[in-house]
């Protein structure tokens, strides 16, 4: 395993961190985690050098922290740094902050959280946290030994990101969305460099855009990958691109299978700063341009947009729409994706049921124009219904 600096701290973090948002589940129900498999995966990662485990209050319907807590029994807790997040949208007072932290400590079966994040900060939540004096609360929690370091995860524009970084001089770290498709989205490359320049460790989430960049590519995109003298899977290309940045401290991967854990550990062992050649970076640039040409929705399937008041199956529709765009140019595969849509997206969950209420967009951490994208998906998949 390769290890990297974690901001100003005198501690080295593994290049790969285990993100516990996409643990293996049973029968497609995200709240029913396959506990035995998940625990084995987390412990396998730790046994092979991963020392950063990330979870959050709402993951897997509140069950994610519980399973992580079980995985860290039997001596594993002492071998890692544990990160979880305050559900900022549920907090309306400092007593709420106490309540949720105590609940999280119980779930995680620990007396402290090493890295505690204010979850999903944007303009509104940032203002709210300031009004509630979250920093006074956090400093008390640190002095009491319940958390060690404070940070934040982020979903908004660069100017807001800069305001948050500058708004508190004791931040230790931040967590941002970053991948080769989203260099100018939300914090983006500017945010990455700015946070690092202020001494913050930068934790990267969605390095493969919720898995979209890990799937086998369309014929045209695969031809670009194949043209490189270096042979990698699409997933490794994406991960190595993020690790190539010296400002990145740790890359979180939401792994759902043991095979993914093994592949990503092997990839992390090959990672490094500024190791990609100009030719390799140009290959990735060409892939980015081709994917954008076909169409790209940066939906990671987090399901924060759900439930939809009209019953629209937003994450499932977007997954199929990304798949349709991914296989662009292959008439057989695009027809198969259309058929899969007709089979799996029943009329009561179809894109055309969108009533344009906008509730989903208010809840989407990626700030996607969901209503507009559903309209495009309806044209692709439902024109003949």
**What's the first-to-final CA gap in the chain, in angstroms?**
51
Query: Do residue 219 and residue 339 come from a single domain?
Result: no
What is the structure's pLDDT at 328? 61
Segment 146-174 shows an average pLDDT of 95
Does residue 162 register a pLDDT over 90? Answer: yes
What is the separation of C-alpha 251 from the centre of its chain, rounded to a whole number of angstroms? 10
pLDDT band, very low/low/confident/very high, at 285 (cuts 50, 70, 90): very high
Q: What is the pLDDT of residue 327?
A: 66
Instruction: Answer yes or no: do 329 and 265 share one domain.
Output: no
- How many domains in the chain? 2
> Tens digit of pLDDT for each residue in 299-342?
767 778 888 888 898 878 887 777 777 666 667 767 877 777 77
Is the pLDDT confidence value at 179 over 90? yes
Cβ burial, residue 79 (10 Å; 0-12/13-18/19+): middle
Interval 61-87: pLDDT, tens:
999 999 999 999 999 999 999 999 999
Range of the domain at 325: 314-382
Tell me what the mean pLDDT of segment 347-374 comes to: 82
Residues 109 and 55 in one domain: yes
In this structure, the answer to whether residues 90 and 15 fall within a common structural domain is yes
State the pLDDT at residue 68.
Answer: 97
Tell me, yes or no, whether 262 and 359 share the same domain: no
- Half-sphere exposure (Cβ direction) of 114: Cα atoms closer than 13 Å: 16
Instruction: Please choose, from the candidates 59, 53, 44, the residue with its C-alpha nearest in 3D space to the C-alpha of residue 262.
Output: 44
The 10s digit of each residue's pLDDT in 187-203 is 899 999 999 999 999 99
- Answer whether residue 265 shows pLDDT above 70: yes
The answer on pLDDT for 290 being more than 90 is no
pTM over 0.75? The answer is yes
pLDDT in tens, 24-44: 999 888 888 999 999 999 999
Residue 75 and residue 132 in one domain: yes
């Amino acid at each position: 395993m390769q290890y990297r600096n974690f901001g100003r701290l005198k501690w080295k973090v593994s290049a790969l961190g285990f993100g516990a948002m996409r643990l293996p589940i049973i029968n497609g129900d995200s709240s029913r985690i396959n506990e035995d498999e998940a625990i084995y995966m987390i412990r396998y990662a730790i046994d092979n050098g991963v020392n950063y485990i990330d979870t959050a209050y709402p993951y897997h319907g509140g069950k994610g922290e519980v399973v992580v807590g079980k995985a860290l029994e039997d001596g594993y807790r002492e071998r890692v740094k544990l990160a979880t997040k305050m559900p900022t949208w549920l907090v309306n007072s400092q007593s709420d902050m106490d309540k949720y932290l105590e609940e999280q400590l119980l779930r995680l079966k620990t007396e402290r959280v090493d890295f505690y994040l204010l979850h999903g900060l944007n303009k509104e939540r940032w203002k709210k946290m300031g009004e509630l004096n979250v920093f006074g609360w956090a400093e008390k929690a640190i002095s009491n030994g319940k958390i060690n370091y404070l940070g934040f995860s982020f979903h908004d524009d660069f100017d807001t990101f800069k305001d948050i970084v500058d708004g508190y001089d004791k931040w230790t770290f931040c967590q941002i969305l970053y991948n080769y498709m989203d260099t100018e989205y939300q914090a983006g490359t500017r945010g990455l460099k700015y946070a690092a320049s202020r001494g913050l460790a930068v934790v990267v989430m969605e390095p493969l855009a919720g898995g979209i960049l890990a799937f086998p590519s369309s014929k045209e995109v695969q031809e670009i990958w194949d043209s490189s003298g270096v042979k990698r899977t699409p997933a490794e290309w994406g991960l190595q691109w993020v690790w190539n940045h010296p400002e990145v401290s740790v890359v979180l991967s939401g792994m759902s299978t043991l095979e993914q854990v093994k592949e990503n550990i092997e990839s992390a062992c090959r990672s490094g700063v500024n190791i990609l050649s100009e030719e390799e970076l140009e290959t990735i640039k060409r892939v980015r341009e081709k994917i954008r040409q076909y169409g790209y929705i940066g939906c990671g399937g987090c399901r924060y947009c759900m439930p939809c008041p009209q019953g629209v199956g937003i994450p499932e529709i977007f997954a199929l729409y990304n798949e349709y765009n991914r296989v662009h140019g292959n008439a057989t595969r695009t027809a198969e994706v259309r058929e899969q849509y007709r089979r799996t997206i029943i009329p009561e969950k179809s894109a055309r049921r969108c009533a344009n209420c906008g509730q989903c967009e208010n809840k989407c951490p990626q700030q996607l124009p969901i209503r507009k994208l559903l309209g495009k998906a309806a044209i692709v998949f439902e024109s003949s219904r």
